[in-house]
Structure 1
């Protein structure tokens, strides 16, 4: 049975990129501006962390452009068809994204970040500090195509 619930943004992305792109997010700086509904001490001691995980909504995605079945990543013939749960793109049922970014500084309710792959105006649904202990345990495995596809993902911008 489908369950629905309402999610309210806790912040919005300010600055950085205006349009989403497939690559060259390296060095992109933006601000995660927490809504003034939160007290300023909601960011207390957050600056002690080097990285954040940001949960956001792909707000620019066309809702009719949903691809839940298997398809080739970036429509590249050399890569195998992969189902929606084996990809991380924006064409998803709930249009949710998760990004790990570097925290540069905390200025009240403004979190200055780098390498956040969300664009200006993106609604942020949650902000979590990165704990090394929450990272993968054991050996990591993945097919070759993500490494090939993401070779330039965090490369410096070509601009």
Structure 2
């Protein structure tokens, strides 16, 4: 069974170029669909510090999807890992999830920072981040994500 979903909004301000690193401090605006949602659909959202945003790698092509194990970012120093051990556009549905800080709500325009999606990106869902629904227990991961993402949230020089 296939799931059909439609975008609820789009990134309309922020970074325009796709890049692997230096997303820190990037401010963006998510514009929710004004023809679909009333203003009160975001009522109370401004009380939250962070959002959970589901978006689509719209600049990627379905031909980019890869199911085999590969080294992250093509770096042979990191062991090859399977499709579901990566967080990139080569995943089957080319969906991503980000946890930006909410800076402000102006009607159906949400101003955020640390959303690693570019202008034109379609937003498929968003919700407030509830700490109680977040991580439980200690986080375990191999060394390569920390090495690979050392500059991910650094500011652009």
Same-fold call, TM > 0.5? yes
The RMSD of aligned alpha carbons is 0.8
Report what 2:139 is aligned to. 140
2:28 alignment partner, one of 16, 27, 30: 30
Report what 1:116 is aligned to. 115
Q: Aligned pair count?
A: 156
SS at match of 2:63: coil
SS at match of 1:133: helix
SS at match of 2:112: strand
Matches for 1:5-16 after TM superposition, within 5 Å:
5-16=3-14
Report what 1:44 is aligned to. 43
The runs of 5 or more residues in structure 1 that have no matched partner are none
Deviating above 4 A after TM superposition, structure 1's stretches of 4 or more consecutive aligned residues are none
TM-score under structure 2 length normalisation: 0.97
Q: Could you tell me how far 1:33 is from its partner in structure 2?
A: 0.4
Quick one: distance in 2 between partners of 1:138 and 1:20?
33
The runs of 5 or more residues in structure 2 that have no matched partner are none
SS at match of 1:64: helix
Matches for 1:94-113 after TM superposition, within 5 Å:
94-113=93-112
Q: Could you tell me how far 1:26 is from its partner in structure 2?
A: 0.3
Quick one: distance in 2 between partners of 1:7 and 1:136?
27
1:59-96, Cα deviation, whole Å (9 max, x unpaired): 00021111111000000111000101111011111110
Report what 2:76 is aligned to. 77
